[in-house]
């Protein structure tokens, strides 16, 4: 069974991460969810725990097993990391080597694990030159991106920035495992 870390960040699209975790679990992946503080403003950890049957990780200083450093053990266990939705904040942290919460710390501890990032934010945020620079930096470092789609966004704006469709994200992950024979 493949182990997937699902990072959920603060975006109205966080509710779609529940569908992603549910489908991946039903497709026989083990899914460990890590939520940022902002993500918990949109959806609760209990939702993911119920769908994945796994503990949801939110606090990097909560060490459940004293002999285990959880952010390191999660990174070592992972076959793939999926961040969906990925806010401008997490993209900026990763591009600049900032590891100050459970999700960013786990991702920083993954050196050979493929990371797939699914941006979701307002169009003006997405096209901001700083965000685009951060995306390019991460792409140049080997991080993978699932492009957001153009849609009417939660704020009412029309433009690129909506989380890619759940089926597109799932297909991307499954194709990765097929193509790498992993």
- 106-117 pLDDT, tens digit each: 999 998 899 999
pLDDT, tens only, 41-88: 999 999 999 999 999 999 877 766 666 667 888 988 999 999 999 999
Domain containing residue 133: CATH number: 3.40.50.1950
Q: What DSSP string runs through 145-181?
A: E---EEEE-TTS-EEEEEPPPHHHHHHHHHHHHHHTT
Residue for token digits 């089926």? 167
Residue 101 is encoded by which pair of tokens?
């919460």
Residue 59 to residue 37: CA distance in whole angstroms: 9
| Overall average pLDDT of the 150-179 stretch | 88
- Do 48 and 33 touch, CB atoms closer than 8 A? yes
Domain count, the chain: 1
Separation of alpha carbons 118 and 161, rounded Å:
10
What is the chain's mean pLDDT, rounded? 92
* Domain residue limits at 46: 3-179
pLDDT at 46: 97
Contact 74, 4 (CB under 8 A): no
Asked if residue 131 has pLDDT above 70, the reply is yes
Residue 33 β-bridge partners: 6
pLDDT at 180: 86
Single out the residue of 114, 93, 115, 120 nearest to residue 39, CA to CA.
120
Catalytic residues: 155
Q: Is 84 helix (H, G, I), strand (E, B) or coil?
A: strand
CA distances from 165 to 23, 79, 144, 170 (A): 13, 22, 16, 9
Q: What average pLDDT does range 168-182 have in this prediction?
A: 90
d(CA 164, CA 167): 8
Calculate mean pLDDT across residues 1-24: 96
CB neighbours of 54 closer than 8 A, spacing ≥ 6? 30, 31, 32, 33, 48
pTM: 0.94
DSSP at 56 = P
């Amino acid at each position: 069974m493949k182990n997937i870390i699902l990072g959920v960040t603060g975006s109205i699209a966080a509710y779609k991460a529940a569908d992603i975790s549910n489908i991946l679990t039903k497709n026989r992946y083990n899914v460990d969810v890590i939520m940022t503080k902002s993500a918990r403003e949109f959806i609760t950890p209990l939702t993911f725990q119920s769908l994945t049957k796994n503990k949801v990780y939110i606090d990097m200083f909560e060490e459940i097993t004293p002999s285990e450093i959880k952010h390191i053990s999660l990174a070592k266990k992972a076959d793939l990391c999926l961040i969906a939705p990925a806010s401008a904040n997490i993209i900026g942290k990763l591009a600049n080597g900032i590891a100050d919460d459970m999700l960013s710390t786990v991702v920083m501890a993954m050196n050979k694990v493929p990371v797939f990032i699914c941006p979701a934010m307002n169009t003006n945020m997405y096209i901001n030159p700083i965000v685009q620079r951060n995306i390019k930096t991460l792409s140049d470092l080997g991080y993978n991106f699932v492009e957001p789609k153009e849609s009417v966004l939660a704020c009412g704006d029309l433009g690129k920035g909506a989380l890619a469709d759940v089926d597109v994200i799932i297909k991307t992950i499954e194709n990765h495992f097929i193509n790498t024979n992993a």
